[in-house]
Structure 1
Amino acid sequence: MELAVKLEVFEGPLDLLLHLIDKNKIDIYDIPIAEITAQYMDYVDAMDKEDLDVVSEFLVMAATLLDIKARMLLPKEKNEEGEEEDPRTELVERLLEYRKYKYMSGELRDMSVGSDHIIYKEPSIPKEVAHYRPPVDLEALLQGVTMTRLRAVFEDVLKRQAQMMDPVRSQFGRIEKETVQISDRIGYVRKKVLSGGRHSFRSLLREGATKTEIVVTFLAILELIKTGDILFTEDSTRDDFILEGNG
């Protein structure tokens, strides 16, 4: 039987076998090896023998088919469970796997057709969503840090600030400064911490020239910890806390 096919139609020996099976409407689980081998060999004989790389693949499959054909003429072997082994089993499994991947590649090829004409919308996220931050878990954030420790550092800074005052001049009258706004201190501390680096809790408190400024700075830091703008870790080696920007 002569086949009017060309080598470039098939991507390999398995592709040719599937073509022969579909063309003859053969059950892939019950391949008539003698018939398929004869048609396959007709195709191999008609091949251009100059391309050895391609020819060698088809010759290997031809040898496999001939081996299966010869084994089917012999008494069938039995496996450990006493069941007769089918020499075609391994070939059928390879054909099924090849068919699966061939169909998958076809689906991907169809999906790619015209995809270069598709324009996707750039992602757009509302500002309130883009700037959303999940609520801060204060218990997890301040785990191991007690308010007693924070208060101790705070009172120590106040004590040192009071010791730096001149006991004589402190009795003189003075012009009071404008009231310190907590919103201003929050903005100042946020800008400084988020600019990068690690900042000492004590150092930020000491920047206050007066007791009022120290207290307001302390409240501003607590508010920023609560909103999650800054991270808060203990520095036990220096009896201090470290503040870092959160993002």
Structure 2
Amino acid sequence: MDNLQSQNTQILSLSLDGFEGPIDLLLSLARDHKIDLAKLSILKLAEQYLEFLDKIISKDIDIAAEYLVMGAWLAFLKSKLLLPIENDDNLENIEDLSELLEFQMKRLEAIQNVSKTLFKRHQLGVHFFKRGNPEIFNVSNKFQYNLSLYDLIKTYGNIITKSDEEKITIANTRLFSVENAIIRLKKLLKGSKDWKSLLDFIPNDIKSELENKSALASHFVASLELVKEGNANIKQDNIEDEIFLSSKI
């Protein structure tokens, strides 16, 4: 239409009796009650509005969607205005529809303002990004040993010998010392002038062969010590015969 002027393909510019400019300005004036929408030509408004939708819908579906509800109301108003007014009730209905149209225009303005505010906010994937999948790092351990050939051989030897180790347990034995044997002989020979066999001085409670040999050796050395000190006499008729002792005191 000749009356349709568009300064921008995304802005609806109207040319009506009593108003000429973008629809945003019309909404602003209507909101401030500086213009009465009921006095404007609703028919021209609807025609220009529908023509704008027809052009913009193929270019920007989002902008067209914002005006879609308004278009339905304007088309409905246009059909009502084309019909003859038979009574006052129809006139009141048209006035009610005009008020609803004004409400819808104000609602559209609010939606546009909110959408602008939303799009000004930082958007995911544009201004910031969500955390990706956790990073998994493979850990590779590398050991380095600083050893000489001697250290290796020593370590190997320790491992081999450790497995063959055996515990040696020494049983408790009663071994006779020469000092104890001297004391025993002095006590038993005291005041006795009779000859007695050296075997008679060996304790009778000895059970093991090792203890018996220890007692015999210590008492023989003790008898020689007493003879040396002049405290006892010793004799043996033959090499393989028994040894006899007697007190000299």
TM-score by length of 2: 0.29
TM-score (norm 1): 0.29
- Report which structure shows greater RCO (CA 8 Å, sep ≥6): 1
